[in-house]
Amino acid sequence: MSSNVLVIDDESAILKMMELVLSSSGYNVTTATNGSDGLAAYGNGAQYDVVVSDYRMPDMTGIEVEQEIIRRDPSAKIIIVSGFGGCDTALEAMNRGATDFLRKPFAPEALRDAVRAAIERDDKHTPITTVSREFSRRNVGGYNFELNEEAVDDFYGDLTCTFEVMKENDSPRYVKVVLPAVVQELIKAYIDADEVPCGKRFFQAMCEYELEHHLQTERSIPTSAILMIDPLLKRHTEWIDRMMTVCLAD
């Protein structure tokens, strides 16, 4: 039997994107455009396996939605999504009972993974001491990875993101993903903007995508432990197009 997911977001484009991503994965999806309508649709929660709610909405915040849902059903599984705030926002959401937190921009597969993990998880609670790590951890092709360090070259402006990559029962390895300044400018030209939306998080997310793509396709850590995003390929521009929709939500 397909699982039922309630998605709440005031941005129609983002709401439609999440609906399409989840329905194409076999979920029965109900949508609401604000917190009040979302709570009305939720009722006592008996018919929903997971709720996905935006953090910042006009009528009420995602935290307020989360608190009311948990009041009605303490076992509810809720995923908060937002481009607003950082780890403190994630900690607040998790501390108040959220099952997971996704930062915008996020790739469709990240949403699918989060919903699947929430449904499969027996205990919705995550120890608060681990939130800052779970906040950025991804699982791809049997590898876990998370951002360890971010640095910008003072002279050239190249961005280097260093990720800790680990396979089960193996020692951690470190992989650098480099986004040259010249490619950053090409991206700005492609979207016809002086700056990318979401600030440095956009380029950081692109580095995450590059590592994720390598792990998915090669099923191994790069031999040199370095990935260079250069040149800008078609798959990169397709990713940018997807992220522009998500990143502009807030």
pLDDT for res 202: 85
Q: What is the pLDDT of residues 125-155, one digit of tens each?
A: 444 334 433 444 555 667 878 889 999 999 9
The residue that leads in pLDDT, 81 or 125, is 81
Give the percent of the chain with pLDDT over 70.
86
Question: Contact 53/78 with Cβ under 8 angstroms?
Answer: yes
- Find out whether 151 and 111 touch, Cβ atoms under 8 Å: no
Measured CA to CA, the distance from residue 39 to residue 151 in angstroms comes to: 42
Measure CA 134 to chain center: 11
CATH number of 4-134: 3.40.50.2300
pLDDT recorded at residue 30: 95
pTM greater than 0.75 (yes/no) = no
pLDDT, tens digit, 9 for 90 and up, residues 85-139 = 555 666 677 777 788 888 877 778 889 988 998 888 765 444 433 443 344 455 5
For the chain, domain boundaries: 4-134, 138-247
Token pair of 20 as six digits: 């399409």
Q: Quote the tokens at residue 31.
A: 């949508």
Burial class (CB in 10 A: 0-12, 13-18, 19+), 89: buried
